[in-house]
Amino acid sequence: MTFGTEIPTRCRAVACIALRRGAEGAEVLLLKRADGPMAGVWTQVTGGIEPGETAAQAAARELAEETGLVPEAFYSAGWVDHFYNPADDCIEVVPLFLAKVTPGAKVILDGEHTDWEWVSIEAAQARVPHHGHRVALDAVRHTFVEREPPEWLRVERYTGGP
């Protein structure tokens, strides 16, 4: 059997979930998009990878730009989102990172967002629009909330961060 043309796969964006311990347990940060087709939608930190950046560097930069947060620990979440992009006829692969932040860390929004909120993982899953985001939140719960994450997932040495 012969198959036709391959659909390209590309990775040009990253996602980062900020996680803290709240009064009721683990909380993740959601951001409300300001403009474009996603205006009014709640998501985690996302953004493009700039030329010369690693995925981990891009995630750390986007976290700082979009929220002003500096993590006390920064990890690869060990999970990637992937989906078909019909506009470009390709499979997009988006690595997920996790930033552990202190409970009192102050969020400072950039112009890409109009609001932010710390919510439980379950509440976040009810708000985020994409299936991949909900699955990512499950991965975060299993790897970072229900147990201590393995040390080999730490990526600070790749970001120039903490």
The pLDDT of residue 37 is 81
The pLDDT of residue 38 is 79
The pLDDT of residue 36 is 81
pTM for the full model? 0.90
Whether 4 is in a domain gets the answer: no
Whether 22 is in a domain gets the answer: yes
What CATH code is carried by the domain that includes residue 105?
A: 3.90.79.10
Number of folded domains that form the chain: 1
Which two structure tokens, joined as six digits, stand for 107?
């969020």
Amino acid at 31: L
* pLDDT tens by residue, 13-64: 999 999 999 888 999 999 999 888 878 899 999 999 999 999 999 999 999 9
The pLDDT of residue 52 is 94
Whether 2 is in a domain gets the answer: no
Per-position DSSP letters for 32-63, written without gaps between them: EE-SGGGTT-EE-EEEEPPTT--HHHHHHHHH
Domain range for 77: 9-159
Whether 56 is in a domain gets the answer: yes
The pLDDT of residue 161 is 55
- Which helix H or strand E contains 138, and what residues bound it? helix 131-140
DSSP-based three-state secondary structure for 27: strand
* pLDDT tens by residue, 64-119: 999 999 999 999 998 899 999 999 999 999 999 999 999 999 999 988 889 999 99
- Residue 3 pLDDT exceeds 80: no
Cα distance between residue 154 and residue 162, in whole Å: 10
- Residue 157 pLDDT exceeds 90: no
Whether 51 is in a domain gets the answer: yes
Could you tell me if 89 and 7 are in contact, meaning their C-beta atoms sit under 8 angstroms apart? Answer: yes
Whether 3 is in a domain gets the answer: no
Report which of 102, 99, 113 is spatially closest to residue 56, judged by C-alpha positions.
99
List, in sequence order, every residue forming a beta bridge with 67; answer none if it has no partner.
Answer: none
Whether 1 is in a domain gets the answer: no
